[in-house]
Chain A
Amino acid sequence: AQRVTQPEKLLSVFKGAPVELKCNYSYSGSPELFWYVQYSRQRLQLLLRHISRESIKGFTADLNKGETSFHLKKPFAQEEDSAMYYCALSGHGNQFYFGTGTSLTVIP
């Protein structure tokens, strides 16, 4: 069963425009949600996690349990934000499940 859904495979925005990467999840119980990012020719790395409720590189994500969503947002996109973004869910027993990823391109 698909636990994490990222409906957009590709997303392009202009520099300075707001950006939102969508993520919906399906899981019984209380999962932990994360966003991971993979910049060009770099390894996957954690961007932020819902339990921290922090802003990293201007990005925020709010867990909406009613809508089972964890969308990633940034008010003003920068060129260096161009990367592959993965939404991930951590369930029982250290199981991490990733969405299919969204490739973000910020146009200068």
Chain B
Amino acid sequence: DTAVSQTPKYLVTQMGNDKSIKCEQNLGHDTMYWYKQDSKKFLKIMFSYNNKELIINETVPNRFSPKSPDKAHLNLHINSLELGDSAVYFCASSQSRLTNTGELFFGEGSRLTVL
């Protein structure tokens, strides 16, 4: 009955590879996010989707492409992985602004290591 689940939890891969991280939420929320937490624990928003529509796209390389097949899922695909992509990626969800409780629900994170 996990609210926000991400897979995989750990991912080790070589530079240049393409990988995906999946996220699913069963809270009925209509907004989902991807955050990147680097080695210094800085937490930075990457993307935000509301009802499958992209609403936030921070300065993120084009190699990163989010995909939202429905409002319960937001996947992150990364092409041509680089060493600097190594981080923990967190998925999160929240209710829409109209009824916003102000709470983000986070997944457990996916630790990506690029060798």
Contacts and interface: CB of A to CB of B under 8 A. Distances in A.
Nearest to B3: A43
Given A95-B48, A98-B45, A103-B41, 7 more contacts: A90-B100, A93-B97, A94-B50, A95-B45, A95-B56, A101-B41, A101-B43
Nearest to A91: B97
6 contacts: A44-B90, A46-B104, A94-B48, A94-B100, A95-B56, A101-B42
Contact of A43 (B56, B94, B103, B107): B107
Contacts, number: 61
Interface of B: 31, 33, 35, 40-45, 48, 50, 55-56, 90, 92, 94, 96-97, 100, 102-104, 106-109
Interface residues of A, number: 25
Interface of A: 9, 32, 34, 36, 42-46, 49, 51, 84, 86, 88, 90, 92-98, 100-101, 103
